[in-house]
Amino acid sequence: MTQARSITFMDTDRFPQARTHSPGLEKFLAKVERRALVMAEIATGSREEALDLVQDSMMAFVTKYACKAESEWPPLFHRILQNRIRDWYRRSAVRNRWKGWLGFDDDEGDPVQKAPDPRAATPEMELQREESGEAISTALHNLPLRQQQAFMLRIWEGLDVRDTAKAMGCSQGSVKTHLFRAMQSLRGQLLEYRS
């Protein structure tokens, strides 16, 4: 089992602009850290890749936007994170193409999904919880990237349509369309898990 590493990094010597806003900035980053990590992990399917993406996004955010008003931080941070995820997808596609040509296979499985749930009361409940969790994670991972982004920003993060559009770099109408399609797809894929 791999040990989780922390993302905190607020090195005010390297990022002097964070020095003047560090209490508010620290609080904001601590608030979005866990949810951003889950979002990146769903997108990449890898905890390590997700940690790197979130840390890189936080450093870019502090470097570029620490001096902005706090009300502007959520969409700006999520815009950076979504851009990093998109870039990861592009690099991953090229890397996978080369692996396929060279005959390499990198299918180890997701260790987070394989870990037992210590809160399960019975083995049956644990199995049902694990199956539904895997189904949700798989369904989210299988969504097209833009639908995944719209769903995670609107439903998971709770951003409004305007801030989601700003974070995704598209129109508000596109956000609504992507979210609608994501919801339709998820409902269809997760029909058997509805109570």
Burial class (CB in 10 A: 0-12, 13-18, 19+), 151: buried
Alpha-carbon span 156 to 36, nearest angstrom: 10
Q: What is the pLDDT along the chain (195 residues), one digit of tens a residue?
A: 344 444 444 444 544 554 555 678 889 999 999 999 999 998 888 899 999 999 999 999 999 988 888 888 999 999 999 999 998 888 877 666 655 555 555 455 555 556 665 555 566 766 777 787 788 888 888 999 999 999 999 988 889 999 999 999 999 999 999 999 999 998 988 888 775
> What letter would DSSP give residue 108?
-
Task: Write down all domains in the chain, each with its CATH number in brackets.
Answer: 1-108 (no CATH), 116-195 (1.10.10.10)
Q: What is the pTM of this model?
A: 0.56
Measured from the Cβ of residue 154, the count of other Cβ atoms closer than 10 Å reads 22
Measured from the Cβ of residue 182, the count of other Cβ atoms closer than 10 Å reads 23
Closest CA to 54 of 65, 64, 70, 43: 43
